[in-house]
Amino acid sequence: MKENKYDNEQFFVKYSQMDRSRKGLSGAGEWHELQKILPDFRNKTVLDLGCGYGWHCKYVSDHGARKVLGTDISHRMLQTAGEKNSAENIEYQCTAMEDLDFLPETFDVVISSLAFHYVRDFETLVKNIYRWMKADGVFVFSVEHPVFTAYGTQDWYYDAEGNILHFPVDNYYYEGARDAVFLGEHVIKYHRTLTTYLNTLLQTGFELQHIIEPQPPEDMMQIPGMKDEMRRPMILLVAARKR
């Protein structure tokens, strides 16, 4: 059963108040690094899996893509995407990414931002993506880092006074569902090891181009809590090419 947490009203309202929701790409701490590993989008047909508010679709459209398809499981997300990030060459489709089906070699580029940790079966998804892509196509995604997802709660470990001591890692090799707390709400996320993320790509036939654990940008360091982001990796960025 695929969870559709973003159609939960309370959760969606909280999500809409995040910087990355209000400000778009410039409000996302990893964007400055993700942007660097994106391919040339001119005249490309692009798929965005778990597109959310559509900020990436709009960026891709603005950078010369021929056609952009953004997909998401959440109606609410796509409603906002339609309002905030529409363009003539962008289409939004409300389907869980596990249920998508396309003809082989449909897309030049596939992107996905912070969505794959909601997917239970990564291998099947990667095989599908590979099939949907044209040869030499580029696949770029961000996902919550295995260090961040292993323990489950996704919170720091504190002393009795509430000071951060460190970030806890546990059950690393036990992959699967975690009851994570995100925006004060319980959400199911799937933990996978780094081995699974990267070797699944390699074994499917992708060539790895970039593997980045983005650090917070200098100009965000004054945001409360941002300096602590130097203490553990939260996000993993990967760019790969279909061979």
List of residues contacting a copy of itself (CB under 8 A): 147, 150-151, 157, 165-174, 193-195, 198-199, 202, 207-213, 215, 230-233
Q: Tell me the closest approach of the beta carbon of residue 66 to a copy of itself, in angstroms.
A: 29
For 99-123, b/e burial (b = at least 16 CB within 10 A) is ebeeeeeebbbbbbbbbbbbbbebe
Task: Rank residues 13 and 230 by Cβ distance to a copy of itself and give the closer one.
Answer: 230
Task: Rank residues 78 and 201 by Cβ distance to a copy of itself and give the closer one.
Answer: 201
Q: Tell me the closest approach of the beta carbon of residue 46 to a copy of itself, in angstroms.
A: 24
Q: Tell me the closest approach of the beta carbon of residue 227 to a copy of itself, in angstroms.
A: 11
Q: Tell me the closest approach of the beta carbon of residue 182 to a copy of itself, in angstroms.
A: 19
Virtual torsion, Cα 242, 200, 211, 92, nearest 10 deg: 60
| CA dist., res. 129 & res. 139, Å (int) | 8
- What's the chain's length in residues? 243
Task: Rank residues 84 and 166 by Cβ distance to a copy of itself and give the closer one.
Answer: 166
Task: Rank residues 72 and 175 by Cβ distance to a copy of itself and give the closer one.
Answer: 175
For residue 104, the SS3 value is: coil
Helices (H), 55-151: 55-62, 75-84, 122-132, 146-149
